[in-house]
Structure 1
Amino acid sequence: MESMPDYEVVRFYCGVTTHSELTILCYGKRFHIEISAEDLQGIIQLGRGYLEKLRRLEIEDGMMSIQYNDWQKTLIQEIDHPEIQKEDDTDDDDDEMVGNAMEEICFWIAWKCNPSMKALGSDTDLQPITVKQWLYPETLVLTPKVDERGILSVGSAAASDGLISDLISSVRLQQDLLQKLQVPLLQPSKIFLFRDKDEDLTGPTQRPEKVFIDPGEILFFKPCHRTHEIPREIETMTRLQQSGLDKTLRVPIIHGLVQYQQETDRICGLLLTYIKHGETLAFVDINETPLERRNKWISQIRQMIGKLHSNGIF
């Protein structure tokens, strides 16, 4: 039985139409899949399966309302009211949920394109050595569509330079902020990925965390995913360092900026102090945690917040 390999979701996007885009790493390459309900309506079960996943995402994630056409509205009505669903309209192999709404739709799309990705993929796993190699793997665009014969076919093409650039989040920084930082601006090709000896090297390479410029100094690589927050984050970490709080609190400082292409005022990532970490309190079972330990955590959090507020950091 065919199965999905390990894969890493790089990005998922959908707007106010049924068009969505999934970018994943698997089979040694990066695949950018563009899909829409309009391209699937030649097979009713397929179109319905996709709309069902999209509808769940729309409801559970509270996203902007999607604009459906008349054909899609009919299916959505059946999805919202299962009692009116026709017996032969059920999805044939995708009823089982695999997680939250986002995970479910990503898996559904990847599963439908799995045979094509396997055929187009590499025999070896993607194993980048530098941040540049991780940012710029070989990328193919896949477009699943039901053809005139009523068969799902997946078109493929090399990704354009414009798309590859769009897949890398970046932010432009003001010159005064760059001058204030006084940290090096580094090309991704000069930043190396650090691998632990016991790290599993099979499957896709997940977003690198541990990196180094010079052997012996491990840094944390943080891509600029939420671009609108990066300048404020940089300002805050600068103030933490200037106030000396980085000496008493477990907070990182900035060691470098990762340059975006050849632009000297645009970055695609930060190089921060690497702080060994585990699960956050969000994963703790409160009911199974002794009261004494919980009170200790509360005290530590209050002390930390007090130090931040006393230095004007909110």
Structure 2
Amino acid sequence: MTQPAQSLPDYEILGFSYGVGTESELTILCYGIRFYITISADNFGNSKIANEYLNLLKKLKCEGSIQDDENDPMETLCFWIALTCNSQMRLFASASEIPRRQPRTLYDWFNPKTIVLIPKVVNDNTMLVDSSIPSQQLLEQLTPRVRMPPSYYTGELKIPAVQTSQILLQQNKA
């Protein structure tokens, strides 16, 4: 399961959570696509990968005992999950019509193409990553929204309403 660290491109962690058991959820933006990854030790059986995941999860749950020379357990676990799914993410990126560019508008930023990934181990140590299209409910959960009462627009404040597709984002000119 070891791959060189440089095989994972820049990515942005949009959300991470873990439960009482061995379930974790990671939402990242990578290759211009938002990936919602759900992971559980139950999907890994008794494999080496399961042991690796459980050790990382254990370090995360014992966060108070971090030594100064150790990496942040959450970042380490998020990187491990992303690296585990990288080959599948790369396949989706190469098959996607979405150009690998920064989002141009606020709408693009909040509403990227989204794919659900579930890594599993089959045949003892072979990693398989199942994928699916997210439900509308999941998309709504992943998309940040602020709902203001109509009085903000029509009352004394008269805050202008602008479509997110009309707000351009600054592009890096490096």
TM-score between both structures, scaled by the size of structure 1: 0.47
1:176 is displaced (CA, Å) by 5.6
The offset of 1:172, in angstroms, is: 3.8
Deviation at 1:174, TM superposition (A): 4.8
Q: Deviations over 1:144-184 (max 9, x none)?
A: 0122x222210011222221111112344455666464311
Equivalent residue for 2:115? 140
The CA distance in 1 between the partners of 2:150 and 2:33, in whole Å, is 36
- Distance change (3 Å), C-alpha of 1:164 and 1:122: farther
Higher radius of gyration, 1 or 2: 1
Matched, 1:128 2:108: no
Corresponding residue number in structure 1 for 2:170: 194
Residue 54 of structure 2 corresponds to 51
**1:160 counterpart residue number:** 135
Task: Give the CA deviation at 1:33.
Answer: 0.6
Hey, what does 1:114 align to over in structure 2? Answer: 86
CA displacement at 1:192 relative to structure 2: 0.9
1:131 Cα deviation from its structure 2 partner: 0.6
Cα distance in 2 for partners of 1:26, 1:11 equals 13
Kindly tell me: are residues 29 and 59 of structure 1, through their superposed partners in 2, closer, same or farther at Cα, counting changes over 3 Å?
same
The percent of aligned pairs where both chains have the same amino acid is: 40
Partners of 1:49 and 1:187 in 2: CA distance: 45
User: Shift of the alpha carbon at 1:50?
Assistant: 1.0
- 8 Å CA contact 2:110–2:144 kept in 1: the answer is no
**1:23 aligns to 2:31 (yes or no):** no
1:243-272, Cα deviation, whole Å (9 max, x unpaired): xxxxxxxxxxxxxxxxxxxxxxxxxxxxxx
Cα distance in 1, alignment partners of residues 168 and 64 from structure 2: 36
Instruction: Return closer, same or farther for 1:109/1:140 CA change in 2, 3 Å cut-off.
Output: same
Q: Partner residue of 1:296? A: none
Which residue of 2 is the match for residue 102 of structure 1?
A: 74
Q: 2:9 aligns with which of 5, 11, 23?
A: 5
| Structure 2 length-normalised TM | 0.81
Runs of 4+ in 1 over 3 A off after TM superposition: 171-181
Partner residue in 2 for 1:282: none
The 2-side partners of 1:61 and 1:105 are apart by 16
Greater RCO, 1 or 2 (C-alpha within 8 Å, sep 6+):
2
- RMSD across aligned positions (CA): 2.5
Q: What is residue 37 of structure 1 aligned with on the other side?
A: 41
SS in 2 for 1:50: helix
Q: Tell me by how many angstroms 1:39 deviates.
A: 0.9
Corresponding position of 1:257: none
